[in-house]
Every structure is written in structure tokens, then in C-alpha cells.
Amino acid sequence: MLRLFPFLPFPFISVKPFLLRPRERNCRIWRGEREKTIYIHNYNNNSSVNFTQTGAQNAIIYISITHRIVTLISEIVRPRIEGCGSIGISLLKMAGLEELKKKLVPLFDAEKGFSSGSTLDPSDSYMLSDGGTVNLLSRSYGVYNINELGLQKCTSRPVKDVDETEKTYQCASHEMRIFGAIGSGASSVVQRAIHIPTHRIIALKKINIFEKEKRQQLLTEIRTLCEAPCYQGLVEFYGAFYTPDSGQISIALEYMDGGSLADIIKRQRRIPEEVLSPMVKKLLQGLSYLHGVRYLVHRDIKPANLLVNLKGETKITDFGISAGLENSMAMCATFVGTVTYMSPERIKNENYSYPADIWSLGLALFECGTGEFPYTANEGPVNLMLQILDDPSPSPPKDVFSPEFCSFIDACLQKDADARPTAEQLLSHPFITKYEDSKVDLAAFVRNIFDPTQRMKDLADMLAVHYYLLFDGCDELWQYAKSFYNESSTFSFSGKESIGPNDIYTTLSSIRSTLAGEWPSDKLVHVVEKLQCRAHGEDGVAIRVSGSFIVGNQFLICGDGIQAEDVPDFKDLNIDIPSKRMGTFQEQFIMEAGNIIGRYSIAKQELYIIQ
């Protein structure tokens, strides 16, 4: 029997965090004549480190840190500072090598826990155990243990000191059926997948843990999602797992099958106000929760991060650069996010807080509602930032758009951050309340924008491949087939009808046993040669499959449809189906959407086998 999910053992690696940063290539070193100070300025992040001298005999140590290697280089800056008075580092106040060693202690020890008195940044900390578990350490001293079987959030502090108990998300790597990429960004790749035990279509966001910047974003996103795994206006979180082979952590998220607001305005120039209003209401509910309950600033609100499903529900995603604040009055001071939708106070490098998200939301909604971005963004980021700072705040044309919409945008785009309303206050704005009683069909609006034929074909491909991989797969996976049916499901074969999951599973298991034969060399598997589909009801799909049985151990599918990982490409196998055909089959399915978003069940199935 072919192993479908082989995993190789992964060696133990322990990476210990350090506060000190390496000197990057884009740095300049010069001597200050007045105070005999050496200045090192990093033009990449506009930061400086000052060195002053108090003893010519002191060693000058330059620290270069990579992912796993700490190199002490003593001669890099010696020639540049001879004759100066003393050496010190303004950021660390080090006194010799012994003091340096004290700074280089691990933040976390697997046996002793967190080091007492440590001031190191735990967001740059992670460990890999010899069992293949990743330990991500958060600022709140929480530990997120992630392995092939899922994610567990725990804490090193007493339970009374935290406002929530430990959480476990069972979401294993071998329970995923992956069907290729939806999209990719600078830090991650997002793929469609089916969670085998629940037959639920999900999105898998994959991030490499060995890159520091991506690891910090990963930790922020997991922490945010764990704190709000299922809240309206926010993309639902199902769990995460680690794959040792690739060094990637996969985050399992709700699959938003309508794309993003950015996708919508690419196909349809603008979104009508009566449609945009209820969409915005959901987003404000999500923002209100992030700001008022979780004390988080998203920092990257833009149309591409505002997702929509085919029911017309909008949700916020991509929490990788969110910032956690101590309370509702705290401020951020870092420059991250998309400059295009960045607020004036952030561009001026001032402290900022939740109003920065309100500005970004207002700018995104201006673009969605009017069909135009109000600034000239194609002349470079510097010119764009000058426009945001110097030009008056943009406002929709009053003779084209409703007073409610114009007022909403004007409120969000106040230059003064303190003058902007909160997300909670905006929920009672006339633009939101005006359409609360209207019966706008958001689902119909979204469905009319995207090609329903291609969406249905993709859905049929995924569900059919998923079913046949269960049928032709190992017994461990086949047990999940029972939950593919509900109590009213029917299965017809050879003039007999089975009803309900237990009866259907028993009948299918008998057919499966017959096709498997007595010896592995006798096993017959499906080769899908033709797949047709049509819409069934509002969310369902009817699928007709025809193909052949051949001797083998792996299900195969011909054609150019969606391919699943671990299924060989038929074009590369050079198999002559007619010469190997042991029989043919035709099968029809009616797949219906369940009450849970993304989950489908087989409502009706008919099988015909021809020898």
C-alpha cells in the first residue's frame, strides 16, 4: 500500500534569541569630532547605534547574527576608533565581554521555563524539538506549540494571571487534501484544501519559520487568530500545523470563495451604496472587536485584505503585522503596512493607534464606492505620501453620491486622528443604518460578478477527487467517508438503494472490498476520464463522472482540472488506459452545501459498473 503522507524525521535544532542585531551592508560608520563618538547609521531602517571609548585596551566586538550562527568579529571597527576615549553601546550599556555573555542567555529553556529578568524580545524566539514540535514564544509569555498534529496554546504564567485557558486546535497535516495555490504574497502562499475528516473546503496559509521577519508575522497572526477564532467580520481560524519536510507552518482559515473587495472592483468599477453599506457593517463589527476587546491595531486595512464569500459576507484577514496595545489609550510607533492606505500620522512617523485603521478603512471604501483611488499612486511612494500629508482630505462628489456616504467617508478621512470616530461609533452612522431594513441580495451581487461556471467546475473537481482518493486510499482515510453523508442521503447501485450514512457506508465498503481483491496486486482503482457538472439549487453542484478501472494502487484523473497534491499527473505516466482497462464505471453525485461554510455532503449518489 502506497503511503500517501510520508514524513521524514527532523533533527533537533535549538535557535536562541538575541537582542543584538547585525550590521547590515547598507550602513555608514564615521567619527564624531566633538565627542569622539563613533556613529553607525543603518539606512535600511533609519536607526543608529553610538559607540564611545573609555579605554584603549577594551576589545571592540561586532556581532553578526544569522538564523543559527553567532559570530564575534573583533577587528572590524578597531582601525576606525583608535585614539578615541572609551567604548560603550548606548542601546545596551555593556561593560566588557562578560556583560555581553549575560545578555546572550536564552529567553526560554525547555526545562526551566522563561529566564528571570530577561529583556529580550520573545517574538524572535522559537525552538524545534527532536519530536518535530515548533515552540513559538509570544510577548505575553504564551507558548504556541505546533507540530504535525496541530496547535496548542499554553502559558508559562499562573492561570489566574491570564484571561483565558489553554487552547488546542486539532488540525493535522495528514488530514489535508491540498489542491493548489489561490494566491501568494511577500511572506506566504495560500492554497485551497479540503479537511478530510470534515469534508470542508478551507484555505491554507503557508509561512516559512526560518526567516525572522516572516516568523514574527506568523506569531502575530496566530496570536490574533487564537484570541478571535470565530467572530463576525473576521476570517475564521481552524488551527495550524507544522511540516518538518518544508520547514513551513500552515494556518488553516475559512475559505472565502468570493475573493476580495479588490477583486470585485477590478471586475465591476464600483460597488453600489446599498450593497457596500451592509458589507461595511460586518467589517466595522470585526474592527470594533479588534480595537475594543483585543486592543489590536490591524495596520494593513486595504481592499485586498477585505474578503468576501459567495453569501456576500465580508471579513477582515491578514493579521501578520497587527500590533497589540496594552489598552485603548496606548499607541504604536512602528512603520509597517501598505503605504497606499496609510494614515497621515503614520506617514509622519508619529505615534498612532486605532484611528489609523479608520483612515485606511475610509480610503479603501472611497475606492470601492467611487471606483477611483483619490490620490495619484503611480508616481512613487514619496509623491503619494506628500499628497496624503499636504492635500486636503479626499471627499466623494456630493452631486453623485448620497449625503450619508459622503459623510461617512469624510468622518473616516479626518487629518486629525483624534477627530475620527471609532469603529463602534461608525456602526450607528446614517450610512450604515440607512440600509439596515433593505432586502439587498448580497449573495446575488457577488455571484453575478464572478464566473459561476469556473467556480462550479473547480468545486466539482475538488469534491470528486476528494471522494475517489478516500475510496481508493487506505482504510484509515476511508473511515471518514461515512461523515460525507447525512441521514437523508441516498445511494443507488445494482437496483438497490441505501439510505443514511451507516447503510451507505456499509454498501460502499462491500464494493470497495470487492474491487480491492484478495492481494495488493489485484487491486482495482479509479481512473476518471470525464467529469461534467451543473448547478444544483443555490449552493450545490451535480457531478457526472465516467472512467475506467485499472490494476494499481493510486487513483488517477485525466484532463486539465484541479490536481491534488500527492496525485501523479496523468500526462507524465504514459499509461495506455485501453490496454489496462479492467472495466468501466459511471457515477452521479449531488453535492449540497451544509450549514457550516465550506462543508459539503453527498445528498444523492448513483453508481453503474460495466464489466
**What rounded mean pLDDT belongs to the chain?**
74
Query: Crossing angle of helices 442-449/273-292, nearest 10°?
Result: 110
Strands (E), 336-396: none
The better pLDDT of the pair 383, 166 is held by 383
Binding-site residues: 205
Residues counted in the chain = 611
Least confident range of 57-61, 238-242, 275-279, 434-438: 57-61
Query: Is 458 marked active-site?
Result: no
Contacts of 604 (CB under 8 A, 6+ apart): 489, 490, 491, 588, 589, 590
**Res. 86: pLDDT tops 50:** no
567, 464 Cβ separation under 8 angstroms:
no
Of these ranges, 25-34, 39-48, 169-178, 416-425, the one predicted with the greatest mean pLDDT is: 416-425
Determine whether 230 is exposed, middle or buried from the number of CB atoms within 10 Å of its CB (0-12, 13-18, 19+): exposed
Residue 540 CB coordination number (10 Å): 19
Cell of 594: 451544509
Compute, in degrees rounded to 10, the torsion defined by CA atoms 457, 589, 485, 149.
Answer: -40
DSSP bridge partners of 70: 65
* Rounded CA separation 315/298 (Å): 13
DSSP bridge partners of 310: none
Of these ranges, 32-36, 107-111, 326-330, 363-367, the one predicted with the greatest mean pLDDT is: 363-367
Cell of 492: 443507488
134-174 pLDDT, tens digit each:
655 455 445 677 888 878 776 544 434 444 456 666 788 88
* Rounded CA separation 43/29 (Å): 11
Q: What pLDDT does 229 receive?
A: 60
Q: Which of 164, 263, 253 is nearest to 200 (CA)?
A: 253
Cell of 479: 473511515
Residue 135 phi, psi dihedral angles, 5° rounding: -110, 105
Least confident range of 123-137, 269-283, 442-456: 123-137
Split at pLDDT 50, 70, 90, the class of 95 is: very low
Give a three-class secondary structure readout of 200-238.
EEEEEEEEECCCHHHHHHHHHHHHHHHHCCCCCCECCEE
Split at pLDDT 50, 70, 90, the class of 63 is: very low
Split at pLDDT 50, 70, 90, the class of 434 is: very high
Cell of 282: 460586518
Q: Could you identify the residue written with the cell 524525521? A: 9
Cell of 482: 461515512
Cα–Cα–Cα angle for 44, 47, 49, nearest 5°?
Answer: 125
Residue 576 CB coordination number (10 Å): 8
Strand pairing of 142-147 and 150-155?
Answer: antiparallel
* Rounded CA separation 17/120 (Å): 7
Mean pLDDT across the stretch 390-408?
A: 95
336-375 pLDDT, tens digit each:
456 889 999 988 888 888 899 999 999 999 999 999 999 9
Cell of 439: 432586502
Give a three-class secondary structure readout of 546-581.
EEEEEECCCCEECCCCCCCCCCCCHHHCCCCHHHHC
Sheet holding 47-52, edge to edge: 27-32, 37-42, 47-52
Contacts of 50 (CB under 8 A, 6+ apart): 37, 38, 39, 40, 89, 90
Contacts of 591 (CB under 8 A, 6+ apart): 459, 460, 463, 536, 540, 541, 542, 543, 600, 601, 602, 603
125, 137 Cβ separation under 8 angstroms:
yes
Binding-site residues for ATP: 205
* Rounded CA separation 258/447 (Å): 8
Split at pLDDT 50, 70, 90, the class of 472 is: very high
> Which ranges of 371-429 does DSSP label H, i.e. alpha helix?
381-390, 403-412, 423-426
Of these ranges, 49-58, 178-187, 480-489, the one predicted with the greatest mean pLDDT is: 480-489
* Rounded CA separation 591/574 (Å): 32
Tell me the HSE value of 8 on the side-chain side, using a 13 A CA sphere.
5
Q: What pLDDT does 380 receive?
A: 83
Q: Could you identify the residue written with the cell 438497490? A: 496
Contacts of 297 (CB under 8 A, 6+ apart): 290, 291, 322, 323, 325, 332, 352, 353, 354, 356, 357
- In Å, what is the CA distance from 160 to each residue of 77, 163, 326, 337, 592? 50, 7, 18, 35, 46
Q: Could you identify the residue written with the cell 495619484? A: 376
* Rounded CA separation 51/37 (Å): 6
Cell of 48: 543608529
Split at pLDDT 50, 70, 90, the class of 579 is: confident
* Rounded CA separation 556/567 (Å): 7
Q: What pLDDT does 52 receive?
A: 38
State the first-to-last Cα distance of the chain, in angstroms, to the nearest integer. 25
Domains, the chain, with CATH or none = 18-103 (no CATH), 113-254 (3.30.200.20), 261-449 (1.10.510.10), 452-610 (3.10.450.50)
* Rounded CA separation 399/380 (Å): 31
Q: How far from chain centre, in Å, is Cα 175?
A: 18
Cell of 32: 564624531
205-228 pLDDT, tens digit each:
888 877 776 777 777 777 777 776
The DSSP string of 40-72 is EEETTTTEEEEEE-S-TTS---EEEE-SS-EEE
3-class state of residue 292 by DSSP: helix
**Res. 190: pLDDT tops 60:** yes
Strand pairing of 167-170 and 150-155?
Answer: antiparallel
Q: How far from chain centre, in Å, is Cα 239?
A: 11
Contacts of 476 (CB under 8 A, 6+ apart): none
* Rounded CA separation 199/217 (Å): 29
**Res. 480: pLDDT tops 60:** yes
Cell of 195: 479537511
3-class state of residue 185 by DSSP: coil
The better pLDDT of the pair 268, 222 is held by 268
3-class state of residue 317 by DSSP: coil
Q: Among 121, 130, 263, 300, which one carries the catalytic annotation?
A: 300
